[in-house]
Chain A
Amino acid sequence: QSALTQPASVSGSPGQSITISCTGTSSDVGGYNYVSWYQRHPGKAPKVMISEVSNRPSGVSNRFSGSKSGNTASLTISGLQAEDEAEYYCSSYTSTSTVVFGGGTKLTVL
């Protein structure tokens, strides 16, 4: 299985909005609403920010939102804050009952 495709890096200024894309195939992202997004700060374990394409777990800021169109899912962070600077990973359930991650996107808050 091939990794989902994410941009290597994105950046934005405090207060701005950014969007990270995650492109897969009809066998993963496009075929199921089981896309999740994770935030990972250096030296820390990943933390789930979005599940099932657009659901925010309890405790996650409403500045984080998710969506999907066809084989591409997206994570949008509005009102960027310094603490949002981290790596972000998408993942999806697949047609072979496995899980696939994206390559990760480094978010820099300028």
Chain B
Amino acid sequence: QLQLQESGPGLVKPSETLSLTCTVSGGSISSSSCLWGWIRQPPGKGLEWIGNIYYAGTTYYNPSLKSRVTISVDTSKNQFSLKLGSVTAADTAIYYCARLSLGYYVTDYWGQGTLVTVSS
């Protein structure tokens, strides 16, 4: 059974960079049939897609976040990562890592989510 697990600091200071890593187990991140990505949910708000990455490195980003976001992949560790720069309180959210299945374009596996708070 495929499992995804987010890890990283739960508290980030304003103007700094938020960094999270997702470890994939029970399957290979080097699959040609899916993308790996990040989705977040601010308190009291809806889901917001952040971006996806293919194992070979091709990335797709939300236009509203593109200038601040970098998603990368490390196939040797079966991990992918998120960096979000110049954070503000508006970036406080539960961050989910997830798998998007190509062909169906459905996010079929999700991590449990991790709360990241931006505060000084």
Contacts and interface: CB of A to CB of B under 8 A. Distances in A.
B105 A34 contact: yes
A98 interface: yes
Given A99-B100, A101-B46, A1 B62 contact: yes
B105 to A, nearest CB: 4
Interface string A77-110: 0000000000001010100111111111000000
A57 interface: yes
Contacts of A57: 108
Interface string B95-112: 010001000111110111
A36 B110 contact: no
* Chain B interface bracket (under 10, 10 to 19, 20 to 34, 35 or more): 20 to 34
Contacts of B62: 1, 98
A51 interface: yes
A51 B49 contact: no
B110 A46 contact: yes
B90 to A, nearest CB: 15
Contacts of A101: 39, 46-49
Interface of A: 1, 3, 32, 34, 36, 38, 40, 45-48, 51-52, 55, 57, 89, 91, 93, 96-104
